Structure formats: structure tokens, C-alpha cells
Amino acid sequence: MGKPIGFTELMKRLAVRAKLSDKTVRKVYDNLFLLASEELRFCGTVKLKRFGTFTLKQRGGRDKNVPRPDGSVERVYIEPYYTIKFKPTAEFINYANGRMTEKESRKRMKNGTLTKSDKGLLNYNTDDRERNLEMALEKIAEEIKYGKR
């Protein structure tokens, strides 16, 4: 595993990949966030194709016994609140693992009729190897810089 990237770096990479300006990508991201959170709040479920499903789940709304320092027990009411659950799609999980998505993709590969997303996944596998090599080289350079090698 490599070093995690931050929001700014993610936006830059997305801008380069989509061939858009950083400002445009940030606007799209902000609007996607606002729209998804509104829909989640009012509908309870948001499904993003090829990404996953977000659902609201209510928690709390119960009494809880809280021990006090003097040995007695105080009863406290916990207000209800919502948490968000996320269930990724099989395609998203397979992309993360670098595998072909589904049986249909394998059939299309055998027939030679790959779709754009299938080709993207094949490129993803190649990019993954290149990125691992790049991260290994960065790690070695860092070790040399700090005298560990």
C-alpha cells in the first residue's frame, strides 16, 4: 500500500484524467456532495452507478445507564441520530482488486468486443503495476535521502 492522497491531489488527478480545469472539477465535486447529501436526507438512499449505495440508518433513541464516580447509576436518554452506511458495488470492489468486473466482461474479452469501461479496466491493471513500481522507487529514494540505505 502506498501513501494515501489528500483531497487536493485527488482533485488534480481527476482534472488531468477528465481533461478539465481544477476549478470545474471542484465545482462538480461540491455540487455532487450537496445533491447527494440532500437526497440522502430526504429519501434515505442514494445509489451511484458503478460506485455504491449510501443509506441512512437511525441510531439512538434509548435510555442508557451511566455509572457515576460515587457508585450510583444515572439514567441518560440518548437522542436519536442518523449514521450513513455504504455498500460498494461489485464492480467497484473488483476495480480496487484489479480484476475484470463480471462474466459479461470476460465474454466480451474473448469475443474481442470490449467496451470502453472494459478497456479502462485493462489499462487500470497496467497502471496499477506502474504505480506500484513508482511507489517503490519513491520509497527507495526516501530511504537514500534519509541515510537508511
pLDDT digits (tens, 9 = 90+) for 33-72: 999 999 999 999 999 988 899 999 998 888 889 999 998 9
Of the given ranges (23-37, 48-62, 127-141), which has the lowest mean pLDDT? 127-141
106 or 97, which is more confident: 97
Q: Which span out of 59-68, 113-122, 138-147 was modeled with the highest average pLDDT?
A: 59-68
Residue 127 has pLDDT above 60, yes or no: no
Among 46, 26, 27, 44, smallest CA distance to 36 is for: 46
Which of the 8 DSSP states describes residue 102? S
pLDDT given for residue 34 in this prediction: 94
